[in-house]
Amino acid sequence: MNDLRTALGLLTVLPIRCGEDISARAFAYYPLVGIFVGVILAGTELVLRLALSNLVAAAVVVAVWAVLTGALHLDGFSDACDGLFAATTRERRLEILHDVHLGAFGAVGLVLLLVTQFAAVASIPHLAPLFLAPVLGRWAMVYAAAYPPARQEGMAVLFRAGLSPQILLVATSLTALTCAVVGWFGLVAFIVSFLVATGVARLSMNRLGGLTGDIYGMICECVEVAVLIVGSAIP
């Protein structure tokens, strides 16, 4: 239960103290946190669409999404955009990731991400994508932690310390079971999530020599939006 509390404290704004002992065991519970977030988002969307237009409901849901997660992964996404897409050396890219200031790539990337997320939420014909997106996004971070870190310090090293195949198996099994409950769309969403997470991870390996905590955030956000886009295209 302590590891579940740690996962909730790390990934949401719930007033839960994580404690000083943060280990990779909490990774096993990331999909459960995703289920928690997904239920809240899907429930919010369902209630709002009874009284508001799809566009207004989608805007509120995106806002709730950001607030509930503390915009943690949005921040990582914007930082990762600045670092990955800068036309410079690998060492300079890692320095840019440390910079707290928002650059041009980060600003443009964040705007495009939020616009796409909003449009996809407004377009989904059913609630399954909205429920599954947070689950698969958090599973993708566990999967990404299996890749080597870009440096020997930082959040990525801290979070992945002690990561074992058993932890990855538990997280993947929970995610696969959740997707199976949703039906065939869950299988499609899982495959898309794997491909997107792998693509971003390989891009980071190529440009940074490994992954960082910001890259984990980028992978989470890219997977979530990809699931929403697929969901908006499938009736």
Reported as a single tens digit per residue, the pLDDT across 84-122 is: 998 888 888 888 888 778 888 999 999 999 999 999 999
| % pLDDT > 90, the chain | 69
The Cα 21–Cα 27 span in angstroms is 13
Q: At 156, is the pLDDT very low, low, confident or very high (cuts 50, 70, 90)?
A: low
Q: Let me know: does 211 contact 150? Beta carbons within 8 Å.
A: yes
The Cα 235–Cα 232 span in angstroms is 7
| % pLDDT > 70, the chain | 94
Lowest model confidence (mean pLDDT) among 14-18, 104-108, 187-191, 225-229: 14-18
Indicate the SS3 state at residue 211.
strand
- What is the distance between the terminal CA atoms of the chain, rounded to a whole angstrom? 38
Backbone φ and ψ for 85, nearest 5 degrees, come out as: -100, 5
- Under the phi-then-psi rule, with left for phi > 0, alpha for psi from -120 to 50, and beta for the rest, what region is 147? beta
Q: Give the global pTM.
A: 0.93
The Cα 206–Cα 109 span in angstroms is 20
Whole-Å CA distances, 124 to 14, 31, 73, 116: 28, 22, 22, 12
Q: What is the pLDDT of residue 1?
A: 66
> Interhelix angle for 165-182 vs 128-144, to 10°?
170
Lowest model confidence (mean pLDDT) among 2-11, 19-28, 181-190: 19-28
Reported as a single tens digit per residue, the pLDDT across 168-221 is: 999 999 999 999 999 999 999 999 999 999 999 999 999 999 999 899 999 999
Q: What is the pLDDT of residue 3?
A: 80
Of 210, 65, 37, 207, nearest in space to 139 by CA: 37
Between 47 and 20, the higher pLDDT residue: 47
Q: What is the pLDDT of residue 234?
A: 81
Q: What is the pLDDT of residue 164?
A: 84
Indicate the SS3 state at residue 150.
coil
CB atoms within 10 A of CB 22: 17
Q: Let me know: does 128 contact 41? Beta carbons within 8 Å.
A: no
